[in-house]
Chain A
């Protein structure tokens, strides 16, 4: 198919961005808001044409975008889906995203697709397989990927490697970068009973090229223990903003995405969240002694 538009490389600025939702297409095109960038879920643009591509093309003409995959199953036990990978590459060729990310999770088994980000045990065996998959992805996409830390509700008895060490070793072996989801750290800390600040203090911030912030829901398990659910269905919680500031103090300005995928709010509410991130990024760039240069 001949493309009528080609995009240059538009770097993602170290500012707040938001996940692009169809509910906001018109607000963005009509209002031309002063926002740094948008992130798209790759799987929403795997159809050949229609309104999603028409709107995305118009938005891409005015803003940089980041490509975020949710269905590649990098943590899966079986081989990657070559068809899915080639569709992902086609989207990257079409829209020239400045960042590309996927998850440390699995979402399909054999031919069954489960549409959720499912956890894996952290062992030498799974480490080898995840690294092989990331090598394959980076070769197929002809670009570096960022790997996102997960939010999980259960753990595996067989796990022998700490998650932070698992991620650090993946980066060392594959050369990928990291997408740090601060809400996921908060959710996991509550669900598994560790300190979120301790986890973040141990996190290899020098490899973080993007940050995610999202909302979570509170629930309880059968023992009455707090169970946090990463539902992306509300505003970012205050303790997560506090942890985010702790991260920025080490990283300096980093592109930061607000994720709000369920009970999608009016554009103004989502935009305000991105502006809140902008304010904290601006504050950290004048006061912090960051460990790394701003990633752009």
Chain B
């Protein structure tokens, strides 16, 4: 492994978990365009999984606070 690869991966992971983070500069969309909406697909997948995991673990809390 190389330090660059670890750093690149860490930046991606951080941006996936932080909805306010900028998309890492290493990423490009179609024809080199800005990939914000495309990157959001990954963010949504991870958030949906986290929400489902919480809802599964704490069903009573889900009833109290709703979705």
Which residues 1-55 of B sit at the A interface, judged by CB distance below 8 A? 1-2, 4-6, 8-10, 12-13, 16-17, 25-31, 33-39, 41-42, 45-46, 49
Query: Taking the nearest CB of chain A, how far is it from the CB of B15, in angstroms?
Result: 11
Query: Taking the nearest CB of chain A, how far is it from the CB of B24, in angstroms?
Result: 9
Main secondary structure of the interface of A (DSSP, over half): mixed
Interface string of A66-79 (1 = CB under 8 A from B): 00000000001111
Known: A106-B9, A129-B5, A156-B26; 7 extra A-B contacts, CB below 8 A, are A109-B9, A114-B17, A115-B46, A116-B45, A154-B42, A155-B27, A227-B37
Contact A192 B5 (CB under 8 A): no
Contact of B36 among A115, A126, A222 (CB under 8 A): A222
Closest 9 A/B residue pairs (Cβ): A77-B5, A221-B37, A109-B13, A153-B38, A77-B9, A154-B35, A115-B49, A116-B45, A154-B27
Which residues 220-240 of A sit at the B interface, judged by CB distance below 8 A? 220-223, 225, 227, 229
- A-B pair count, CB < 8 Å, reads 89
Contact B38 A227 (CB under 8 A): yes
Residues of B at the A interface (CB closer than 8 Å) are 1-2, 4-6, 8-10, 12-13, 16-17, 25-31, 33-39, 41-42, 45-46, 49
Q: Does A158 contact B (CB under 8 A)?
A: yes
21 chain-A/chain-B pairs, Cβ below 8 angstroms: A77-B1, A77-B9, A109-B9, A110-B10, A114-B17, A116-B16, A116-B49, A118-B16, A125-B4, A125-B5, A153-B41, A154-B38, A154-B39, A155-B27, A156-B28, A157-B25, A221-B30, A221-B33, A221-B38, A225-B33, A227-B41
Residues of A at the B interface (CB closer than 8 Å) are 76-79, 106, 109-110, 112, 114-116, 118, 121, 125-126, 129, 153-158, 191-193, 219-223, 225, 227, 229
Most B CB within 10 A of own CB, among A118, A154, A157 = A154
Contact A76 B9 (CB under 8 A): yes
Most A CB within 10 A of own CB, among B12, B16, B36, B38 = B38
Chain B contacts of A157 at CB under 8 A?
25-28
Query: Taking the nearest CB of chain B, how far is it from the CB of A117, in angstroms?
Result: 9
